[in-house]
Every structure is written in structure tokens, then in C-alpha cells.
Amino acid sequence: MTRHDLPSSEITPESAYLDRRRFIAAAGLAGAGLLAAGSLARGAFASGPTPQQKSLGTPYGLQPGDDPTAEEDVTSYNNFYEFGTGKGDPVENAQGFVTKPWTVKVEGLVKKPGNYQLEDFLKPSKVEDRIYRMRCVEAWSMVIPWRGIMLADVLKRAEPTAGAKFVEFTTLMDPKRMPGQRYPALDWPYNEGLRLDEAMHPLTLLATGVYGKELPPQNGAPLRLVVPWKYGFKGIKSIVRIRLTEKMPSTSWSIANPGEYGFYANVNPQVDHPRWSQATEQRIGRFRRIPTLMFNGYADQVGSLYSGMDLRRNY
């Protein structure tokens, strides 16, 4: 392989994954997950890793036992307050959510601002399949096969000016289509942000699909942010605006509760949430809790972004 992506053919099918789980449970073969992860990694790099593959991890920071979470869980257990605050609300309330046509506005400190139809916005970026470990601030986690484009590709085309230091993202505001926005759970519309170097990192994706399929509404269709070393609330969904700024943008959860949700939101087992520990996590589909890894296991790839920073203060 010469590409640095993980092709759909290497992603464990949901049916095979479920069958394997049942077999492991019946036979008590706890080590089978290690073999599965090892074979997935070998398949991804059958011809040897490219330089960028080496920089991103093998493959993309996965650890032994990191089998993809069942598709049913990935698409039915979600945080997406625009469709309700319960984990099962999005899959129920997002049915029929129309995402075509879709316009993304790029503005702020860029040389080439504009309003783009989704198809034009994505071109000519290369669509890639990547399996990422994902960690929610509520201490549960999944391993998700995303499909998308590197955010860096979009930002480079927009040509950030020298003054651009941050990237702000905004979700669609439409209470008729997003019933959760009819209630003051958050200050709508949802806003999130990254430092520009975080946004330009090759691990940062704009996801358009999951499990080799088009992204379903409950997972943030048609376009969502994926930053695997940060807690899940940074993954803003149904994006309609990207704005480059000089100053750090306000973000929805830090406005709602700044004592619990900071701007950086890096996965850090040493910094507890005020109401629970972040030292361990519950992987959806597993019975036992597992240790949480610094930067969600991507420390080798992204740790240098935060060199010299106080990560307890900058949580």
C-alpha cells in the first residue's frame, strides 16, 4: 500500500465482530481481541508503512484489543443534544433529517472565504477510512471506523492569514429540524473550537461517514469534526460554518459550565472531572473497565503540541 489510509476492506464487518464477541464470551478466550487487533494492523500495513503512517501510529494509535465497536452501538448510543439529551434520543429524533443540499461557510482570517456546497467543499480532498479510539467525557469509549477528509486540506485551500490562531466551528441552527434546540439545554447554536495547529494536525478529520457508509444523522451528518485525542464533546456535528480567528473562541460547553469543560478538553487520566474520575473508562461492548491513556493513546503523535503547558490548568 502507498496510501496512508485504512481501506474499507480492512474494517471488521459488524456481523463478524458480533459473531467474534459471542464466540469469545462462550469460550472465555480473552486474548482473542489481541489477535484480532494484530491482524488488522498487519493488514493495514501489508506493504510496509509510509512515513506519514509512521507519524500517525500503527494504525492510527490503536492498541492490542482495539476491535471496532459494533456498528449498532456506534449509531444508536450518541450525544447530540440538538436531537435530545438522552443517549437514545438522537437515533429516534433525527430520522428524516435532510442533509442535501448543505452549505458550509468558510470565513474570518482567510484569503479565500466563501459559501460552499458540500460537494464542492470536500473536493479535491482525498476521502480516507481511519479507525480511531474515541473517548467521551462521561468515561465511556468506543473504537470507531470513520470516513472523512483531513481538516488541514480544507484550511490550506482557504489560505489562513498570518493572524489566524484558532478555528471556530458552528452547528446548524434549525429548531424545526433539530427539536432539541427548542429547549435551553445549551446556548444554541453549538460552537466549538481548536487551536490552528490542532486543526492542522493530520489526525484531525472532518468525518462524512462511518463503518464505510454515509454518516447517519444521529452521528452528525453530513459533516462532523473528529479529534481523537480529545473528549467527545469537541466533535461538533452538522457543521455549517468554519471561521478562523485571532482570539480563542467561546465554546458551548465551556460557556454552560466552565468549571467542568475547558477549551482544550484533551483526554487526561490525571485530571478528573469534578464529579467522577477519568482514570478509567468503560468501553462500549466490554464488561470490564480499562485504564484511560494520556491523550487517549495518541501521546506520541500529539504530545508535542502541548509542550510546556500546564495541562491541569489548560484542561
Tell me: the pLDDT tens digits for 109-138? 999 999 999 999 999 999 999 999 999 999
Does residue 18 lie in a domain region?
yes
Beta-ladder partners of 266: 230
pLDDT surpasses 70 at 163? yes
Query: Exposed, middle or buried, 257 (CB in 10 Å: 0-12/13-18/19+)?
Result: exposed
Q: Cα angle at 289 between 288 and 294, to 5 degrees?
A: 150
Any idea what DSSP says for residue 225? E
Domains contained in the chain, number: 1
Classify the C-alpha dihedral 221-226-228-232 as positive or negative.
negative
* pLDDT per position as a tens digit, 13-67: 444 434 434 333 333 323 333 233 333 333 333 333 444 444 455 567 788 888 9
User: Is 222 contained in some domain?
Assistant: yes
* Amino acid identity for residue 295 in this structure: F
CATH number of the domain bearing residue 143:
3.90.420.10
Q: How far, in Å, CA of 241 to CA of 16, rounded?
A: 38
Peptide bond into 13 cis (omega under 30): no
From residue 273, how far is each of 14, 136, 192, 277 by CA, in Å?
A: 33, 12, 19, 6
Say whether 283 sits in a helix, a strand or coil. strand
Inside any domain, residue 279: yes
Parent domain of 126 = 8-306
Is 280 a domain residue? yes
Residue that wins the pLDDT comparison between 39 and 286:
286
Q: Give me the pLDDT at residue 11, please.
A: 41
1 inside domain: no
Q: For 211-221, what is each residue's pLDDT tens digit?
A: 999 999 999 99
The verdict on residue 313 lying in a domain is: no
216: in domain: yes
User: Is 189 a domain residue?
Assistant: yes
Here the cell at position 269 is: 487520566
Per-residue pLDDT, averaged over 262-273, amounts to: 96
Give the whole-angstrom CA distance, residue 75 versus residue 217. Answer: 9
